[in-house]
Homo-oligomer: A and B are copies of this chain.
Amino acid sequence: MLLNLDDYRRAARRQLPRVIFDFIDGGADAEDCVRRNIEDLGKVTLLPRQLRDVSSVDTSVSLFGHSWKSPVALAPTGFNGLLRPGADIVLARAADQMGTPFILSTASNVPLEQIARQANGIRWLQLYIMGGRRIAEQLIRRARNLDYSALVLTVDVAVGGHRERDVRNGMTMPFKPSLRTMLDFGLHPSWALRFMGKGPPKFANLEDPDQGSHSAELAVALGNRQMDRSMAWDNLAWLREHWDGPLLLKGILHPDDARRAVGEGVDGLIVSNHGGRQLDVVPSTIQALPGVLDAVAKAIPVLVDGGFRRGGDIAKALAMGAKAVLVGRPALWGLAVAGEAGVRNVLETFNEELSRTMALLGATQVEELSANYLNNIQK
């Protein structure tokens, strides 16, 4: 019975070949950070307010010019095509139906144009800088023309994190499946049959839509997360020349970086440790969140991701001062288990849990979740 996100994780583990499940599930190095994200969220507690009229609870928020049905967005995840062909479209459509923003990854396997045609919801573009500025400029231009409404620059990928599970599984670019992996594929026919007659997923957005050219080296670089290591604060001005819409930085953990971002005119921050997939020695995002909020919460919206598995987790982050939460792995589990309906169910589970939590906290609007709910005694 798929009652909660852990149920979905277990079900996804059964549905997917191990190499694919591990690609989603794993983290960098010893995976301490993956564990910290989950464990530290469990330590936060909230004190409810009773005897308030909660006849109607409204989880909607208004952020960056759009109304969201709930303070949740789909985190950008790359290489979704490994789960099933056209996975990015499925995610975008499910997000659309749930009133949830969809953030298309630079490393998606479906081009921006196709997403724009097939899903009408709130669409953002996540940007990796790699292979020279021209690619980024093209991506931004396409996103602008297709009404992608915000740009998310991921800033915690100067080099690729060392995901040992992927190395052990041969899950590198180019992909080198072992005999064991091929057998594992065979043992998951429901996954494998979807790929019948189809090639492996490609990084569709690296193709220049004008010229139709595709750079194989670029794809390998993106797959191995070999980004532009020289990307620095100064380069934001260049980005701004090409993008005048909302610009968010994803991967900020240090309060000084948060202040700098505000100084540079950034419109929003996503406190993130890349789900523990990049740098293992960093704190959980829920632990880093207060520092960032203290620094910039009055200036710009701060979002957060990393280890959110319950609606109650979301309420915790909101009470601390975050404006919304991004969820990555849970949506992919939903996708693996039941496609579009699975993603919708995952988002619905989050929303139901959040709505129930809000009612029991005595909050009818997301904005009511504030520091008054924080259990100070535990500090």
Interface, chain A (partner B; CB < 8 A): 1, 3-4, 6, 29-30, 32, 36, 42, 44-55, 155-156, 158-159, 161-162, 164, 167-168, 229-233, 235-236, 249, 251-257, 260, 278-283, 287-288, 290-291, 310, 312-313, 315-316, 352-353, 356-357, 359-362, 372, 375-378
Contact A48 B310 (CB under 8 A): no
A291 cross-chain contacts in B, Cβ below 8 A:
47, 376-377
Q: How far is the CA of A366 from the CA of B280 in the complex (A)?
A: 18
Q: Tell me which residues across on chain B come within 8 A of A282, comparing CB atoms.
A: 45-48, 375
Contact residues in B for A287 (Cβ distance below 8 Å): 45, 375, 377-378
16 additional contacts (CB under 8 A) given A29-B353, A32-B42? A1-B168, A47-B253, A47-B254, A48-B279, A50-B158, A50-B249, A51-B235, A52-B158, A52-B232, A53-B230, A53-B231, A54-B159, A158-B362, A159-B360, A281-B357, A287-B377
Q: How far is the CB of A295 from chain B (nearest CB, A)?
A: 12
Asked if B254 contacts A48 (CB within 8 A), the reply is: yes
> Which chain B residues border A255 with CB–CB below 8 Å?
47
Q: A48 to B253, Cβ gap below 8 A?
A: yes
CB A162 to nearest CB in B, in angstroms, measures 6
**A366 shortest CB reach to chain B, Å:** 15
Write 29 A-B pairs (CB below 8 A) sorted by A numbering: A1-B167, A3-B162, A3-B168, A6-B30, A36-B45, A45-B283, A46-B282, A48-B254, A50-B155, A50-B158, A50-B249, A50-B254, A51-B231, A51-B236, A54-B158, A54-B229, A54-B230, A159-B360, A162-B352, A162-B356, A278-B360, A279-B357, A281-B313, A281-B315, A281-B357, A283-B375, A287-B377, A288-B377, A291-B376
CA distance A315 to B282 in the complex (A): 11
**A378: shortest Cβ distance to chain B, in Å?**
6
Partner of A288, one of B29, B47, B356, B362: B47
Partner of A230 from B55, B316, B357, B375 at Cβ < 8 Å: B55
Q: Which residues of B contact A231 (CB under 8 A)?
A: 51, 53
Closest Cβ of chain B to A273, distance in Å, is 8
> Does A251 lie within 8 Å of B3, measured CB to CB?
no
Residues of B within 8 A of A162 (CB): 3, 352-353, 356
Partner of A30, one of B233, B310, B352: B310
Report chain B residues within 8 Å CB of A254: 47-50
Q: Nearest residue in B to A253 (C-beta to C-beta)?
A: B47
Contact partners of A288 in chain B: CB under 8 A: 47, 375, 377
Task: Give Cα A375–Cα B51 distance, bound, in whole angstroms.
Answer: 35
- CB neighbours (8 Å) of A378 from chain B are 283, 287
**How close is A346's CB to chain B, nearest CB, in angstroms?**
15
The smallest C-beta distance from A373 to any residue of chain B, in angstroms, reads: 8
Chain B residues whose CB sits within 8 angstroms of the CB of A257 once the complex forms: 49-51
B158 and A377 within 8 A (CB): no
Q: How far is the CA of A91 from the CA of B209 in the complex (A)?
A: 55
